[in-house]
């Protein structure tokens, strides 16, 4: 476990009669950007609560930086920085005051605290907002403050639960640029829970969870290579009218979203020629892409990644 930052073995957890996690196993290498991908109800939040020692262990073993989460909770907490989906900054304090309060909790004071606060303000590009009340900041800047606060005590492992939820595309991109820079420059291990495909594809390794169980583990590319064929998406004038005929022609099932018909095909050139020959007047455009992570999830579970699962984990 010398190069393993976080490891779980046969991890299970239940709320009364509902099983949230069942024999979950994974290992996260130090300095990796590790993603947990799954729908609502897949167990991501329960796993985060266990990692952050917010709920007690029930069955199995879990280590953070070689420390037993069950027996060494205080030591584990010093290794962690945590940003949950719900904001955890004090909107009545300034940016600088939020960072200083968090540093004080971890025993910093005096020159060390001032120096570390200044360093975090610079690193996360919020030095010009140091004296601004956090409640006056945009959502993207608040997330930067949360990230800076979580890194104040130099944790070895950073837990991020849906960290870009509610951010606009530009703020989300800026957040990710800061996060990737943190991983590369400081060697911080990041465990990220997300349901966004674009974020999951940026991770070094992914664990796919469904109904509290391991579905698959590997790099995004490795997982996508598990699915044969390519995704052919047809933009048509009337999807409902021609879906059945296109399925019969290409001998494969399809999914309709709006005016688009999506199919997975093994011989794309042959299928494109056939569909253009038979439905040229209906087709407004077409796109051919490699299998997505959602395709992988659908292939392995028989259910779509988005829109499946329960409300709570």
Pairing of strands 67-68, 254-257: unpaired
- Which domain, by its residues, includes 118? 4-224
pLDDT at res. 310: 41
Q: Are 188 and 182 in contact (CB under 8 A)?
A: yes
Q: Are 210 and 273 contained in the same domain?
A: no
Q: Does a structural domain hold residue 298?
A: no
Q: Does a structural domain hold residue 82?
A: yes
**Residue 161, domain CATH:** 3.40.50.300
Residue 142: strand, helix, or coil: helix
Q: Does a structural domain hold residue 302?
A: no
Q: How many domains does the chain have?
A: 2
Distance from CA of residue 275 to its chain's centroid?
Answer: 37
**Residue 236, domain CATH:** 3.30.70
Q: The whole model's pTM is what?
A: 0.80
pLDDT at res. 2: 59
CB atoms within 10 A of CB 35: 25
Q: Which of 128, 100, 134 is nearest to 114 (CA)?
A: 100
**What is the four-CA torsion angle of 22, 27, 70, 153, rounded to 10 degrees?**
-130
Per-residue pLDDT of the chain (313 residues; tens, 9 = 90+): 459 999 999 999 999 889 999 999 999 999 999 999 988 888 998 999 999 999 999 999 999 999 999 999 999 999 999 887 777 899 999 999 999 999 999 999 999 999 999 999 998 999 999 999 999 999 889 989 998 998 999 999 999 988 887 778 888 888 888 888 888 888 999 999 987 888 899 999 999 999 999 999 999 989 988 887 788 889 999 998 999 999 999 988 888 888 899 888 888 888 899 999 999 999 999 998 888 888 888 788 877 776 544 434 5
Q: Does a structural domain hold residue 308?
A: no
Q: Does a structural domain hold residue 258?
A: yes
Q: Does a structural domain hold residue 309?
A: no
Counting every residue, how long is the chain?
A: 313
DSSP readout, 223-269? HHTTS-SEEEEEEES-HHHHHHHHHHHHTS-EEEETTEEEEEES-HH
Among 205, 224, 243, residue at a domain's last position: 224
Q: Are 190 and 73 contained in the same domain?
A: yes
């Amino acid at each position: 476990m010398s190069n393993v930052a976080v490891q779980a073995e046969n991890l299970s957890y239940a709320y009364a009669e509902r099983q949230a996690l069942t024999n979950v196993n994974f290992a996260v290498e130090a300095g990796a950007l590790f993603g947990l991908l799954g729908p609502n109800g897949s167990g991501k939040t329960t796993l985060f609560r266990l990692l952050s020692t917010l709920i007690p262990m029930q069955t199995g073993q879990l280590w953070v930086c070689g420390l037993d989460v069950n027996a060494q909770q205080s030591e584990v907490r010093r290794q962690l920085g945590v940003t949950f989906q719900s904001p955890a900054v004090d909107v009545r304090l300034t940016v600088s005051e939020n960072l200083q309060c968090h540093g004080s909790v971890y025993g910093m004071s005096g020159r060390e605290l001032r120096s570390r606060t200044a360093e975090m303000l610079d690193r996360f590009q919020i030095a010009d907002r140091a004296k601004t009340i956090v409640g006056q900041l945009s959502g993207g800047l608040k997330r930067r403050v949360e990230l800076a606060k979580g890194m104040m005590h130099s944790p070895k492992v950073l837990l991020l639960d849906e960290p870009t939820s509610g951010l606009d595309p530009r703020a989300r991109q800026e957040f990710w640029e800061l996060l990737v820079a943190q991983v590369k420059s400081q060697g911080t291990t990041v465990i990220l829970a997300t349901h966004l495909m674009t974020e999951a594809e940026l991770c070094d390794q992914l664990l796919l969870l469904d109904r509290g169980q391991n579905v698959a583990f590997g790099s995004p590319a490795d997982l996508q290579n598990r699915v044969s064929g390519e995704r052919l998406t047809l933009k048509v004038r009337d999807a409902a009218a021609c879906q059945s005929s296109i399925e019969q022609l290409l001998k494969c099932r399809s999914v309709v979203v709006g005016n688009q018909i999506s199919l997975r095909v093994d011989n794309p050139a042959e299928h494109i020629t056939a569909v253009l020959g038979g439905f040229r007047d209906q087709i407004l455009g077409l796109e051919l892409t490699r299998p997505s992570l959602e395709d992988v999830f659908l292939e392995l579970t028989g259910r779509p990644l988005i829109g499946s699962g329960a409300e709570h984990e």
